[in-house]
């Protein structure tokens, strides 16, 4: 899942790549939570932080996965 691209820059393309990789990582069937249009580019740093945590952890427990999804919901557009 680790990618070789530079995801440090807050671009729509990078945000889309991060969300796609997270959806793949969690093997979600309903990707509605990972729709890039639902995220504010101004919150990119928060999204990138969550992404980096997931990549470092690798496999998450059920509780950690739920906590991650809760955090992800908090950074979506209202």
**Tens of pLDDT along 21-66?**
999 998 888 888 899 999 999 999 999 999 999 999 888 899 998 9
Write out the residue range of the structural domain in which residue 16 sits: 12-74
**Does residue 2 lie within any of the structural domains?**
no
**Does residue 64 lie within any of the structural domains?**
yes
Residue 41: per-residue pLDDT: 94
- DSSP assignment of 1-47, as one string? ----S---S--HHHHHHHHHHHHHHTT-S-GGGG-GGGB-GGGHHHH
Residue 14: per-residue pLDDT: 96
pTM, two decimals, is: 0.85
Query: What's the domain count of the chain?
Result: 1
Is residue 4 very low, low, confident or very high in pLDDT (cuts 50, 70, 90)? low
**Does residue 4 lie within any of the structural domains?**
no
**Does residue 6 lie within any of the structural domains?**
no
Residue 30: per-residue pLDDT: 86
């Amino acid at each position: 899942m680790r990618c070789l691209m530079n995801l440090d820059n807050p671009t729509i393309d990078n945000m889309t790549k991060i969300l796609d990789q997270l959806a793949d990582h969690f093997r979600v069937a309903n990707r509605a939570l990972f729709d890039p249009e639902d995220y504010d580019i101004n919150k990119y740093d928060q999204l990138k932080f969550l992404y980096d945590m997931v990549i470092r952890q690798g496999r998450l427990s059920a509780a950690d996965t739920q906590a991650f999804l809760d955090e992800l919901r908090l950074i979506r557009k209202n």
